Amino acid sequence: MEPLIWTGTLSGLNVAFFAVAAALAVSVVARMVFAVFGPAAARPGVNSDGTLTGPVGVTGVLSKAVRYSFSALATLVLIYVLGGVILGTRAGIVGGLARNMLPVWIVLIVLFAVSITFKRKLGLYGKLFDSTIGMIGFALVMFWVVTGIMGGAFDMLITHDPLSQFPGMKNKLPGTPLSGAGEQDYQWFLLGGDNLARDVFSRLIKGAWIVVKIAPMATLFAFMVGITLGLPAGYYGGRLDTFLSFLANLILAFPVILLFYLLVTPEIVATGIPNFMAAVLFAFPIIFCAVLLNARYFTQPALRTPLLIVVLGGLVWTYLALISNNGSIVANDSYRIPGLPAALDWIDMGSGLLTVFVAVVFVNAPTVFRIVRGLALDIKTRDYVAAAQTRGEGPWYIMLWEILPNARGPLIVDFCLRIGYTTILLGTLGFFGLGLESESPDWGTTINSGRQLLSIYPHAAMAPAFALMTLVLGLNLLADGLREESLRD
């Protein structure tokens, strides 16, 4: 069986693709250079309907060049994807990848179609589809989210076992036929093999699931901690604010990488410190939800009490499942603290994953605290907060149902950016071999294992590096789009 080339029968489009990509790069650079060194741009005019006219002169020409070349490049990419889905491996490696990712394309098309159709009824999320930058970022993020869920959680997209070694496939180039493949086996290594003869494509998909599983949830937990402590610090002020701010500044004084390194080293893990930290940090979502529901339904005890019992019961069970591992919260040579029985432990979080999760929450929570505190200090002076105080509303009701909703714009933007930071931190930890197992398919570990032969076989490291770059880029563009739309509210 012959090896696959990159575009197969679609190779005739390659010249146009590279020409358009070069034109886009040149036009973007020229636009940036002219914006810095060119003459001041003329003030935009006003059309008869009240809208502003577009840029004129050289600025207008360069802006049109960027827009048209980008549209042409996006069109060519869609042709590659559509042709790959139809032709499969006849369209080479690109075709094999496009055909294999067909479930992802279907989910994205349905998601965008529904979102654009009902965007006027979806609040800030719907307004995101009025921003080109926001839509591009959202598409990149959702591509990896859907890929991670389908490929990692349900094994729908992977072509081979990501942990298995295949004879004769060590450091093989992308598109190499699988040696000794049976009828039930996928016939190619689409992105080649790594230095241990494992399929790079399958490990890339599994690595996406690790990022999708850890980064958003760890960031959400950090926000729970930061919001629960930041709101009262900003609202009450005084000694409480001084004490909590001192603790936050104390944590932020440590270099992030050094703090991560200390938390995930085997010696620290053996002491059980990360487990105790998890027991403390993971309790904040319970506290947050309890206070939130109690403040909202305080005057309706008939509804509040059963609601609290159901919600807090589920959260406590989840909390115990998170901090327990093999029936223990902490188990070392010196002592053992029993946890949730294995039969009730429905969340499988190994010690390495738990340690990384705790490290991410611990590092991000102080920054979130400072952001929430600053917003609370500003918003508590607004008239609607004074009106709520005049009505006799309690402090926690005002904090959670008056101040927090009006701070959602900056917090949502920071949440997207912080997921990107967390993704980079996870990649850094994996690159240095800290936290997760050495055979883990996470992107950082995969990049580290492929860097040793980067000058000879770059594919093993370049594929996860490109995935990491596109996900972080998508999160940044999504945050920019959300910021742009939130400022229009």
- Cα separation of 332 and 140, whole Å? 43
pLDDT of residue 45: 56
Residue 409 domain-assigned?
yes
Nearest to residue 367, comparing CAs of 417, 324, 328? 417
Confidence of residue 329 (pLDDT cuts 50, 70, 90): confident
On whether both 223 and 360 belong to a single domain, the answer is yes
- Picking from 248, 235, 204, 199, the residue whose alpha carbon sits closest to that of residue 397 is 235
Count the domains in the chain: 2
Neighbours of 82 (CB within 10 A): 13
DSSP for 308-363 reads: HHHHHHHHHHHHHHHH-BTTEEEE-SS-EEE-S-TTT------HHHHHHHHHHHHH
Q: Which pLDDT belongs to residue 104?
A: 95
What is d(CA 454, CA 461) in angstroms, rounded to the nearest whole number?
7
Q: What gap in Å lies between CA 54 and CA 414, rounded to an integer?
A: 31
Question: 368 Cβ partners below 8 Å, 6+ apart?
Answer: 222, 223, 225, 226, 227, 230, 414, 418
**Helix, strand and coil percent figures for the chain, each rounded to 5:** 70, 5, 25
Listed range (107-121, 176-190, 199-213, 293-307) with the worst mean pLDDT: 176-190
The reply to whether 275 and 407 lie within a common domain is: yes
In a domain, 367, yes or no: yes
Strand segments, DSSP code E, in 122-224 are 176-177, 188-189
Q: 137 vs 355, which has greater pLDDT?
A: 137
**What's residue 328's pLDDT?**
82
How far is it, in rounded angstroms, from Cα 394 to Cα 375?
19
Q: How far apart are CA 321 and CA 341, in angstroms?
A: 9
pLDDT of residue 317: 92
Checking if the pLDDT of 42 tops 70, the result is: no
Q: Is residue 358, in this structure, part of any structural domain at all? A: yes
Tell whether 483 is covered by a domain: no
User: With 70 as the cut, is the pLDDT of residue 80 above it?
Assistant: yes
Q: Is 70 exceeded by the pLDDT of residue 280?
A: yes
CA dihedral 260, 202, 465, 7 (to 10 degrees): -170
The answer, yes or no, to whether residue 203 has pLDDT greater than 70, is: yes
Q: What is the pLDDT of residue 346?
A: 82
Report d(CA 279, CA 338) in Å as an integer.
13
- Which of 26-40, 220-234, 271-285, 333-347 is modeled with the greatest confidence? 220-234
pTM above 0.85? yes
pLDDT band at 52 (very low <50, low <70, confident <90, very high): low
Lowest mean pLDDT among 301-305, 422-426, 428-432: 428-432
Kindly state whether residue 301 falls inside one of the protein's structural domains.
yes
Domain that holds residue 294: 209-431
* Residue 67 resides in a domain: yes
How would residue 350 be classed by pLDDT, with cut points 50, 70 and 90?
Answer: confident
- pLDDT band at 214; cut points 50, 70, 90: confident
Residue-wise pLDDT for 432-484, tens only, equals: 777 677 778 889 888 888 888 888 888 899 999 999 999 999 999 999 988 88
Q: How confident is the model at residue 270 (pLDDT cuts 50, 70, 90)?
A: confident
What share of the chain in percent tops pLDDT 90? 49
Is the per-residue pLDDT at 222 higher than 90? yes
274, 409: one domain: yes
User: Mean pLDDT highest for which of 40-49, 119-128, 276-285?
Assistant: 276-285
Condensed to tens digits (0 to 9), the pLDDT of residues 147-173 reads: 999 998 888 899 999 989 998 889 999
pLDDT confidence of residue 61 = 82
**8 A C-beta contact, residue 224 and residue 284:** yes
Query: Encoding tokens for residue 489?
Result: 């509210």
The one-letter code for the residue type at 284 is F
- Chain segment 282-305, per-residue pLDDT in tens: 999 999 999 999 988 988 889 999
User: Cβ contacts of residue 347 below 8 Å, gap of 6+?
Assistant: 318, 321, 322
Tell me which of 484 and 223 has the higher pLDDT.
Answer: 223
**Number of CB atoms found within 10 A of residue 49's CB:** 5
pLDDT at 257 over 90: no
- Can you give the pLDDT at residue 189? 93
Is 246 or 348 the better-scoring residue by pLDDT?
246
Rounded distance between C-alpha atoms, residue 77 and residue 94, angstroms: 10
pLDDT recorded at residue 283: 93
Residue 104 falls inside a structural domain: no
Mean pLDDT of 6-27: 93
352 lies in some domain: yes
Please choose, from the candidates 210, 236, 232, the residue with its C-alpha nearest in 3D space to the C-alpha of residue 422: 210
**Dmax of the chain from CA atoms?**
80
pLDDT tens digit string along 395-409?
Answer: 999 999 999 988 888
Pairing state between β 188-189 and 336-338: unpaired
- Give Cα separations from 276 to 141, 270, 308, 452 (angstroms): 33, 12, 26, 37
